[in-house]
Amino acid sequence: MNDYPYPAFSGYGLELEYMIVDATTLDVLPIADRILASQGTADDMDVVREQAAWSNELALHVIELKTLGPCRDFAEAERIFRGEIRALSALLEAEGARLMPTGAHPWMDPARETRLWPHQNDAIYQAFDRIFDCRGHGWSNLQSMHINFPFQTEDDFVRVHAACRFVLPLLPGLAASSPFLDGKAAAAKDARLLAYEGNCRRVPEVTGDVVPEIIESSRAYEKLLAGIYTALAPHDPAAILREEWVNARGAIARFERGAVEIRVLDTQECPEQDMAIAVLVTSLVQALASGEFLSLGELVHFPSAPLVAQYRRSRTDAAGAELVGDAYRAAFGSSQGTVGGLWHELIQRLIPSTSPVRSRLDLVAREGTLAERLLRRAGPSPSHDALWLLYGDVSSCLLTGAAFCP
């Protein structure tokens, strides 16, 4: 493995995805290319601004904001994202549109409303659509925060990947924000992840169990990728998807930029909440990678079965999910019975009371994930009008930076 420029935990690449919706109806509005073209050309994947970049995603109603390279100062990242949302919102207002946060649109009909990106690299999206059919919630109706954890050496890679793998099953209990699909309460509080798991059922090797397998080296990871490419080959004879990003597990290696990318965090109501969660998650991953809770051998070789079982419980029940077995209680020395209770302990342990993000994390610990707060406001069987009012309020949180609390 070549040495990369950024050592482990020297900074973090941060990405936030948002949906563009009609300002009045809040229905999805597929105009991302028009917005990006107003800043450059619609054929460019990225609009590079002073401190951030805007880019397209698979669906034309989704736009991504990201930092320019790894960012160590989360307060600065928060300021950057706040400025980008202000600028983007002004452009959208002129189009009769606005941004909507959370992990999924609550009433979008993907079969009818999906519009795929038709410009640069559209062959990639067409290949995905031809093989998997992207007119579904897990493809065209999802928004997430990605955190990229740099690594510089082989040892960095193994430690960072193992730590991300161990943390991943707990993350829906902190960040679930997609409790509604098709205009009603979904089968999971993190419905985005539930839909995501079935995206690639035609070639199940692509997603696996979402929780990554045990990876002892970069060579072992390359072997995993080779298995995915082999499984895809009959469906992708031109090898369009023969790239490392086709691995759809919840944490993947990005050797092209020397990072492990976590992908299971739903977008929150405002970047201030996203950055608070990022502070907590990166602090926990770093503590694990440094051996604070488990030895490196225990961390790397931790069996997959209990992690997968915990992940599935967490994406269904969010903070209220029971801790499966004793794995996490033992690792963290906890007596808690739920994922939310464990996160409450970890917040107190890892985030000083004087930290500027502590009050935002305490709100999540006290009131539950955004998904649970949305459900509490809407009730079990909300009308369309009730959802429209609810998501209008949440979209206002994105503009003001206020946390949503029913």
* CA angle 78–38–76, rounded 5-degree value: 10
Evaluated on CA atoms 224, 226, 228, 231, the torsion sign reads: negative
Burial class (CB in 10 A: 0-12, 13-18, 19+), 80: buried
Nearest to 182 by CA among 109, 264, 291, 132: 109
Q: Which CATH number fits domain 13-377+385-397: 3.30.590.20, 3.40.50.10320, 3.40.50.1100, 3.40.50.300?
A: 3.30.590.20
Phi/psi zone of residue 196: left (φ > 0), alpha (ψ -120 to 50 degrees), beta? alpha
Give the model's pLDDT for residue 42.
59
Instruction: Write the CB contacts of 349 (distance below 8 Å, at least 6 apart in sequence).
Output: none
Q: What is the pTM of this model?
A: 0.97
CB atoms within 10 A of CB 86: 10
> Do residues 29 and 164 make contact, with C-beta atoms less than 8 angstroms apart?
no
Nearest to 339 by CA among 204, 216, 170: 170
Instruction: Write the CB contacts of 350 (distance below 8 Å, at least 6 apart in sequence).
Output: 280, 283, 284, 287
Give the model's pLDDT for residue 380.
80
Q: In one letter, which amino acid is 224?
A: L
Burial class (CB in 10 A: 0-12, 13-18, 19+), 21: buried
pLDDT tens-digit profile, the chain (406 residues): 667 999 999 999 999 999 999 999 999 999 999 999 999 765 667 899 999 999 999 999 999 999 999 999 999 999 999 999 999 999 999 999 999 999 999 999 999 999 999 998 899 999 999 999 999 999 999 999 999 999 999 999 999 999 999 999 999 999 999 999 999 999 999 999 999 999 999 999 999 999 999 999 999 999 999 999 999 999 999 999 999 999 999 999 999 999 999 999 999 999 999 999 999 999 999 999 999 999 999 999 999 999 999 999 999 999 999 999 999 999 999 999 999 999 999 999 999 999 999 999 999 999 999 999 999 999 889 999 999 999 999 999 999 999 999 8
Distance CA 289, CA 322 (A): 25
Q: 214-227 burial, b if ≥16 CB within 10 A, otherwise e? A: ebeebeebeebbee
> Do residues 2 and 151 make contact, with C-beta atoms less than 8 angstroms apart?
no
Give the model's pLDDT for residue 54.
96
> Do residues 340 and 319 make contact, with C-beta atoms less than 8 angstroms apart?
yes
Give the model's pLDDT for residue 9.
97
Question: For residue 149, what are the β-bridge partners?
Answer: 260
Give the model's pLDDT for residue 3.
78
Q: In one letter, which amino acid is 212?
A: P
Domain boundaries, the chain: 13-377+385-397
What residue ranges in 101-168 does DSSP mark as E strands?
A: 144-150
Distance CA 333, CA 192 (A): 31
